[in-house]
Structure formats: C-alpha cells, structure tokens
Amino acid sequence: MHKAMTRAEVALFAENLVKTNVVYGVVAKDKQFAWDRISDHKEMVLDYPTTISSPKKYFLPPTETLIEFKLAANPDPKFVNHSQEAILFGMHACDLYATKMLDHAFEDTNKDPNYLEKRKKAILIGVSCMPDPDCFCNKMSVDEEVHNEAKISKKEALYDIFFKNIGHKFLVSVGTKRGEELLAKYAKPAEATKEELDQLKVVEKKRVESFTNDMKLDVDQLVKLLPKTHKSPVWKENADKCFACGTCNLVCPTCYCFNISETVKLNLAEGSRDRDWDSCMLPQFAEVAGGENFREHVADRLRHRLMRKGLYIKEKFNMSGCTGCGRCYRNCTADISIVKMFNRLKEVSENE
C-alpha cells in the first residue's frame, strides 16, 4: 500500500515536477504561508501549519473572467476558460476534503465549466500535518476521510498522491491511477518496510492525540443542533463584535459564493464579465435591486454563514461544510471563534 521516500527523494521528485509541469505549492510569506506558483522547488515547503487562504484560489480565483464581449450593436459574447494542466503539491487533509466538497457544488445541477475544467486537469498531492490549537478537522470527519486507508480503498481517494511525514522519511499513499503514473514517471520509491509502517502508526496516533481543540460537536450533532438555533441569542452576541468584513468567508476553503461584475476597457469597445470572490457576511450580499435586504443584520448573516458550514451543505452534498481548518478564527480580527460559537449554541440550546 505505502511506498517510502527519503526527504531528499521527495525534494528531487518536487524538482522534477517543477521542471516540466505547472506546480502550485506553499511558500513562506512573512511568518505565515501562502499558496503560490512554484518556479523553484526549494521555495516550496511541506512542513507548514496552515496557509492564509486555501488552495481553492486556484480553482476559484479571486477574480476570473467568464465571458468577453464587444460594446457594439452585436456584442458577440464569447466564453472564456483559462484551464491548464497543473499540480497542487502539499495540500492538507482539510483542503483535500474542501476540494471534494467544491467539486459537488460546481457539478450539482448546472455544471460550472470554469471550475470543472481546471479541476479535471489538476493533480492533487497531499501532505500530512500536525494540528495546531485551532484545528478541529478531527471533529469534522475530515481526518478520517483522508487518513483512513480502509475507508479510502472502498471509494475514490480525495487525493492523487499523499505524503505522510514520519520524521526522517515520507510514506507515500497513492490514491488514483493518475497519481500512480505521476509517481512512476518522476520518482522511484521503494516499498515501505514494516518498521516504517510501524512508525507511521506511531505518528498517526500522535497526530490524533495532538488535537487540543474544544469543539464539542461532530458533523452529525451539528446537523441535529442547528435547525433549533434560528432564534438563538448567540448570533446577536457575536454580531456586536463582528466587523462583517468577509474575511472568514474568503479564507474558508469551502466558501464558494461569488459576485458577477463587468469590466469595460477604456477604449469602450470591449469588456468582460468576471466573477469575484464574495462573502455572505458583507452587508449587500442579499440585497435586491429595489433595496430590500433579506439579511440586513450582522446576526442574520452570521447565522446564515454557520448554517451553511454546519447544516445546509451537509444536507445538500452529504459532506461537512466546515473542514475544521480553523482559518476563519485565526484570521478574524474580532477573535470570533466558530468553535466557541457552535459550542455556545449547544450550551444555550440545552439550557432552554
């Protein structure tokens, strides 16, 4: 099942990939980390706690052109698709899970060609991680979906290749045929030895035990709890300190809402229709042309956001809408914690 590669071999593999492929990976940015195009494999890091934004920005860019047209009697609109073959190297379990969730969202009912073309041409390479205090993917069924080999063998893996850090080496799990071919083409990994597999068990146990989050609900418990919380005072409690700045949505790996806007060139002869990241926390998100705003208050919008994370997406796609990556809390200037909010909803609901 598992292959084994030394750190040097993984570095060589990365070097070979970068030479002949379009590779996206994680690079240091100040004291944090961010996804970026890799031109030199030495810039790419595999040991990182988390990234500012998630790799969703590759599949659903902050701004993306959908169509181009002329400003003429016949505008002759043309569809634009900028997909390419690419490798995303170094995805954490939470982001792999999120990508699968986004696949559902963009495949459902009406297929979104811009997302799906890019997705189809992308190879996902995962890497294991150790949780930080804000991670709670273990409660959101993410950890299990990605790491449980027995579960994966029954269905399609969420990755093409996954590197599991066991200290001096990486054990490599291959999830798809594409992953297998890529690995065979650019590396010659040995089979993992029994000692290495034992070491993996030790490391995995350590990872599971390293979660220190306080999340008191799992995915199924959230689905049971949330429908009862529409009128909870918890929304207002948090609304008072919330900036409604949209950060939580934008850094969330499963948030995919967008705005559609027009850009016209200064020659006033051509233009494009683009989609830009949007956020249901922003005041105008649910406003209609007449001025009516269906989620006018911050509390309404906080509720909507958490309902999506814990309930609506689960109902729709049978996947958790929250991966437990902790980005929304880490990046929140007002220090609003999704874990504390879920826990408090539970607490208030139980005391009713």
Q: Applying CB under 8 A, does 74 fall inside the site for other proteins?
A: yes
**Which residue, 128 or 229, is less far from other proteins as judged by CB?**
229
Interface residues for other proteins in 43-62 (CB under 8 A)?
A: 52-53, 57, 62
* Residues 143-182, interacting with other proteins (CB under 8 A): none
Q: Can you tell me which of 334, 340, 348, 349 binds other proteins, judged by CB under 8 A? A: 334
* 261 near other proteins, judged by CB under 8 A: yes
CA distances from 217 to 99, 133, 141, 166, 340 (A): 23, 16, 11, 30, 11
Nearer to other proteins (CB atom), residue 111 or residue 185: 111
In whole angstroms, the minimum distance from the beta carbon of 298 to other proteins comes to 8
Residues whose CB is less than 8 angstroms from the CB of residue 191 and which lie 6 or more positions away in sequence, other chains included: 2, 3, 4
- Residue 122 bridge partners (DSSP): 86
**Site stretch for other proteins (CB under 8 A), options 16-24, 119-127, 182-190, 257-265:** 257-265
Type of residue found at 305: R
Degrees to nearest 5, angle at CA 172 with 32 and 124: 55
Nearest to 344 by CA among 219, 239, 176, 216: 216
| 93-122 binders of other proteins (CB under 8 A) | 105-106, 108-114
Ranges of H-type helices in 40-90: 56-59
Contact between 319 and other proteins per CB under 8 A: no
Q: Report 272-311 residues binding other proteins (CB under 8 A).
A: 273, 275-280, 282-290, 292, 294-295, 298, 300, 304, 307, 311
Contacts of 13 (CB under 8 A, 6+ apart): 5, 183, 186, 187
Q: Which of residues 5-34 bind other proteins (CB under 8 A)?
A: 29-32, 34
Please pick, from the candidates 268, 350, 351, 352, the single residue that binds other proteins as defined by CB under 8 A: 268
| Sequence letter at residue 57 | K
User: C-beta of 192: minimal distance to other proteins in Å?
Assistant: 35
